Structure 1
Amino acid sequence: MVGAFVGAFALLMLSAFTSVLAGGPLSTKRELVNAAYQANVGECLNWERKDLSDAQKVDCGAAHRFEVTGTADITAAYPKEAPFPNAEAWEKISQEHCAQAATTYMAGKLDPEGKYGVSTLNPDEKRWSDGYRQIRCGLQVTAPSGAALPSYGSARTQDQSNVYDPGICLALGEGNTVGDPVECAQPHAFEIVGVVQHPEGEFLAIDKQDAIMSEKCAAIAAEYTGGADLKAKGLLVTWDTRSEKSWAVGSRKANCKIGAVPQGNNLVAWKDSVRNPNGAPLTTANPPQTTSVRPQDEPTGAPLHSESGKSPSESGKPSDSGKPDKPSSSAPTTTSENR
């Protein structure tokens, strides 16, 4: 995810409603979850527990994990006698019924490589066996693992750039990818040192973005580290770029970051932070960038990641928009270049 997400949407099936909705006495928790099932387009839902037993409607300006973009009744394709869908079937349902709903909800301006992914709230097996066939489509910010991250404000009014607050470290994931936010004391691929806001106007070609980011990220990194000798530490400065598709819907922000010198095309994990402990307080977004919040330890329910074929919006798979698996070849690598 080293910037914009590319690839197929992370289509998240939040089937963990099962334990609360499958039966049992009517309780306050159950009423709250039922309210989530009854959420309308434009409403937002939040929960803290892994089983979603405390899910409820909240103001979209507050922290939330799901924004409803539409509803769909799939009875025609799945009559009462139809078996409960497996993971692949749920993914197909999500693509067919929710991808377009998200694009329509965003008035055609959904960043295909941004921080929002298409998700669904699906009935559990008990409700399915009782003939319940309605799903809720929505948008949510998800970590590469599929864990839902808190978001603030309606997706329709937020900058969709896939960026992190300074001071966030990102794990090295499987397959040479960039993973979830982790404590910087743990092995990680990158440490975010700042965010650059590109100006409005015509799309800047990648080489022009690189020129801007090279200069600005070097200065940001020097301030962040207190002028540390990164080369001596086996580290270098790199950055993200925004694609033309992202630029077209208004995404203008990009991260500056520090990573270990790669081995060929492979990222290398490293530990601890290079932030100057005596430096000025970090400037973070207000409210904070949603991805700066630590995700749940595990995804809620069973996350469905498309492994072949791409949904119309193509998002949710960790990658960098311009340089997917390695720092920029033009990134400064010596202390003098970072001062």
Structure 2
Amino acid sequence: MAGAFLGAFGLLMLATFTSVLAGGPITTKRELVNAAYQAGVGECLNWEKADLSDAQKVDCAAAHKFEVTGTADITAAYPKEAPYPAAEAWEKIAQDNCAQASTTYMAGKLDPLGKYGVSTLNPDETRWSSGYRELRCGLQVTAPSGAALPSFGSAKTQDQSNVYDPGVCVALTEDNKVGDPIECAKPHAFEIVGVVEHPEGEFPAPEKQDTVMSEKCAAIAAEYTGGADLKAKNLLITWDTRAQESWAVGSRKANCKIGAVPQGEKLVAWEGSVRNPNGAPLTTANPPQTTSVKPQDEPTGAPLHSESGKPSESGKPSGSDKPDPSSSGAPPSSAENR
């Protein structure tokens, strides 16, 4: 089956997913939150609780969910009497006040289609009512739902390619979009079988990338599955390509993956894994790309993601999914992932 499923794997796009540090009584827990409010440029923060009440500074080499790229005071636009912004307003505030700060922090080399998204830590409603208007601008690795994923090392030094490690499965959402990482035993859109790193050089046209990915992904899939007959399982090999904007800032990696044969323009969910249980251990990144996302509860105040669950209009698909015609037996077609 030939054709393109454009944007089917736009996993971690530049978006204005907002976060909030929740308020409460003055306790030891509150002191940890204060430390996060005081975090400076280049410092990293981590938390486990959905309301961020346990947020604290950590070494950027360790797992973290936020890297501070700057601060912004929005008092001029939101004086003391201004009501607490709704989620949509927070997204615009983040874009207006933090997008440029993050680009500058990355020396102009922030992949707009890469795994890092622009985000903010906003004052909670208690601080807001007292007149506090300072934001922490930052970068997060975010899942399509907006959930913050673990990151390791400073974004300045990390590859920004939009990829997952082999063995990761990604969900299929109700609106037929690629979702968050999920257990492969559950219905999912794709199973990641490998990562291809393109060599340095001039940007290769998508057609050239297709030629390279088709050959390499076929070999990777054969090893991953132990030579399984994918056509008999109604599955096919597919892959991502890198956009020129991503190539320009150094993103060279792209995923090979396996998915069910689409029905027209729609992706189809399937269950289980095609990995050969007797195969060699998987080669994963160091540090590893995330393999799961904890259920995201809504925190008090601005949510960790937009109410619609969709990225902002500033985000665009990171690449395209190309089915391998030799693996599907389906007639040529093209479709855009929804």
TM-score when normalising by structure 2: 0.90
Q: Is this contact kept in 2: 1:10–1:306, CA < 8 A? A: no
- 1:5 Cα offset (Å): 4.6
1:133 has 2:133 as partner: yes
Q: What is the aligned partner in structure 1 of residue 327 from structure 2?
A: 333
Deviation string 1:281-326 (CA, Å, 9 cap, x unpaired) is 000011101xx24222115631126969733xx36xxx45124xxx
Change over 3 Å in CA distance of 1:238–1:307 after alignment to 2: closer
Q: Distance in 1 between matches of 2:206 and 2:81?
A: 53
Deviation string 1:124-164 (CA, Å, 9 cap, x unpaired) is 11111100000111000111111110000000110000100
Q: Distance in 1 between matches of 2:12 and 2:225?
A: 30
Q: Distance in 2 between matches of 1:86 and 1:247?
A: 36
Q: Distance in 1 between matches of 2:268 and 2:227?
A: 22
Change over 3 Å in CA distance of 1:320–1:78 after alignment to 2: closer
SS in 1 for 2:247: helix
Q: What is the aligned partner in structure 1 of residue 19 from structure 2?
A: 14
Alignment: residue pair count: 318
Q: What is the aligned partner in structure 2 of residue 298 from structure 1?
A: 296
Q: Distance in 2 between matches of 1:306 and 1:72?
A: 25
Q: Is this contact kept in 1: 2:12–2:143, CA < 8 A? A: no
Q: Is this contact kept in 1: 2:11–2:179, CA < 8 A? A: no
Deviation string 1:203-227 (CA, Å, 9 cap, x unpaired) is 0110010000000000000000000
Q: Is this contact kept in 2: 1:188–1:270, CA < 8 A? A: yes
Q: Is this contact kept in 2: 1:69–1:101, CA < 8 A? A: yes
Question: Where do residues 69-218 of structure 1 align in structure 2 (5 Å cutoff)?
Answer: 69-218=69-218
Change over 3 Å in CA distance of 1:177–1:306 after alignment to 2: closer
Deviation string 1:43-73 (CA, Å, 9 cap, x unpaired) is 0000111221211000101000000011000
Change over 3 Å in CA distance of 1:87–1:32 after alignment to 2: same
Q: Is this contact kept in 2: 1:113–1:246, CA < 8 A? A: yes
Percent identity (aligned): 70
Q: Distance in 1 between matches of 2:310 and 2:164?
A: 25
Q: Is this contact kept in 2: 1:147–1:299, CA < 8 A? A: no
Q: Distance in 2 between matches of 1:5 and 1:334?
A: 24
SS in 2 for 1:271: coil
Q: Distance in 2 between matches of 1:129 and 1:282?
A: 51
Q: Distance in 2 between matches of 1:250 and 1:153?
A: 17
Q: Distance in 2 between matches of 1:168 and 1:111?
A: 22
Any stretches of 5+ residues in structure 2 without a counterpart? 1-6, 330-338
Change over 3 Å in CA distance of 1:75–1:198 after alignment to 2: same
| Structure 1 consecutive aligned stretches of length 4 or more whose deviation exceeds 2 Å | 1-7, 304-311, 329-332
Q: What is the aligned partner in structure 2 of residue 310 from structure 1?
A: 313
- 1:41 Cα offset (Å): 0.5
Q: Compute the RMSD of aligned alpha carbons.
A: 1.9
Q: What is the aligned partner in structure 1 of residue 241 from structure 2?
A: 241
2:294 partner letter: Q
Q: Distance in 1 between matches of 2:118 and 2:244?
A: 21
- 1:74 Cα offset (Å): 0.5
Q: What is the aligned partner in structure 2 of residue 223 from structure 1?
A: 223
SS in 2 for 1:332: helix
Question: Where do residues 274-293 of structure 1 align in structure 2 (5 Å cutoff)?
Answer: 274-289=274-289, 292-293=290-291
Q: What is the aligned partner in structure 2 of residue 32 from structure 1?
A: 32
Q: Distance in 2 between matches of 1:256 and 1:134?
A: 42
Q: Is this contact kept in 2: 1:182–1:294, CA < 8 A? A: yes
Q: Is this contact kept in 2: 1:72–1:134, CA < 8 A? A: yes
Q: What is the aligned partner in structure 2 of residue 321 from structure 1?
A: 319
TM-score when normalising by structure 1: 0.89
Change over 3 Å in CA distance of 1:43–1:307 after alignment to 2: same
Any stretches of 5+ residues in structure 1 without a counterpart? none
Change over 3 Å in CA distance of 1:267–1:3 after alignment to 2: closer
Q: Distance in 2 between matches of 1:237 and 1:31?
A: 51
Q: Is this contact kept in 1: 2:235–2:258, CA < 8 A? A: yes
Q: Distance in 2 between matches of 1:115 and 1:308?
A: 13
Q: Distance in 1 between matches of 2:12 and 2:142?
A: 13
Q: Distance in 2 between matches of 1:308 and 1:58?
A: 27
Deviation string 1:66-125 (CA, Å, 9 cap, x unpaired) is 000110000011110111111221111111101111111111001010000010000111
Q: Is this contact kept in 2: 1:194–1:256, CA < 8 A? A: yes
1:237 partner letter: I
